[in-house]
């Protein structure tokens, strides 16, 4: 099974520039970004990132949601499965991409811990154990990743100024699994 695939995105330079502008508009002060998972404005994405959105369409993808993932020096690095109806998402790092790698594991479901978050989303993590990753990737560009398989982050830096590491995470009507064949 492939767990990730980096994408050769159409008009990457302009699309990346738009995403950085979008980030700077929704978060003018980077020190205020503290939530691991957040939901920046979809309308602002559409108005500020027309080239990025055109790239999705060119790839045959219909954008459904924009999320933002923020890793701070003390962010939880549990092995987990995302509470998402999408088996895969497109992750696009924009700040400090060198600071974190993503690891995937093959773990028996009997090790799962299922909890309900206050927002009603189920969060599935795994009991601590001596698990060996089956795949790992320092994601530095737009990359389709599996989020319905057990995964975790690992910090590659101990330096505070290498954080936050911020990435957008895009969900589509399409499953994206074709990119992982």
CB 158 within 8 A of CB 152: no
55-84 residues in contact with Fe ion (CB under 5 A) are: 82
**CA–CA gap between residue 138 and residue 153 (Å, rounded):** 10
Interface size with Fe ion, residues (CB under 5 A): 1
Verify binding: residue 18, Fe ion, rule CB under 5 A.
no
Q: What's 157's DSSP letter? A: -
Q: Please say which residue, 48 or 166, places its beta carbon nearer to Fe ion.
A: 166
Write out the two tokens for 46.
């559409």
What are the angstrom distances between the C-alpha of 101 and each of 69, 96, 137?
13, 11, 5
**Cα 111 from chain centroid (whole Å):** 24
Nearest distance from C-beta of residue 99 to Fe ion, angstroms: 16
Verify binding: residue 149, Fe ion, rule CB under 5 A.
no
Nearest distance from C-beta of residue 165 to Fe ion, angstroms: 13
82-111 residues in contact with Fe ion (CB under 5 A) are: 82
Q: Please say which residue, 27 or 146, places its beta carbon nearer to Fe ion.
A: 146
Binding positions for Fe ion, rule: CB under 5 A: 82
């Amino acid at each position: 099974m492939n767990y990730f695939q980096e994408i050769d995105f159409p008009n990457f330079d302009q699309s990346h520039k738009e995403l950085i502008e979008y980030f700077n508009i929704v978060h003018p002060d980077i020190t205020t970004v503290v939530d691991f998972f957040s939901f920046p404005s979809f309308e602002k994405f559409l108005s500020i990132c027309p080239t990025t959105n055109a790239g999705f369409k060119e790839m045959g993808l219909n954008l459904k949601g924009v999320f933002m993932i923020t890793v701070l020096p003390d962010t939880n690095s549990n092995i987990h499965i995302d509470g998402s109806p999408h088996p895969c998402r497109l992750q696009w790092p924009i700040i400090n991409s060198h600071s974190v790698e993503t690891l995937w594991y093959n773990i028996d479901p009997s090790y799962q811990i299922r909890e309900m978050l206050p927002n009603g989303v189920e969060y599935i993590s795994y009991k601590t154990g001596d698990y060996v990753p089956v795949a790992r990737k320092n994601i530095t560009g737009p990359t389709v990743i599996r989020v319905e398989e057990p995964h975790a982050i690992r910090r590659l830096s101990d330096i505070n100024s290498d954080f936050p590491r911020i990435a957008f995470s895009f969900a589509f009507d399409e499953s994206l699994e074709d990119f992982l064949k």
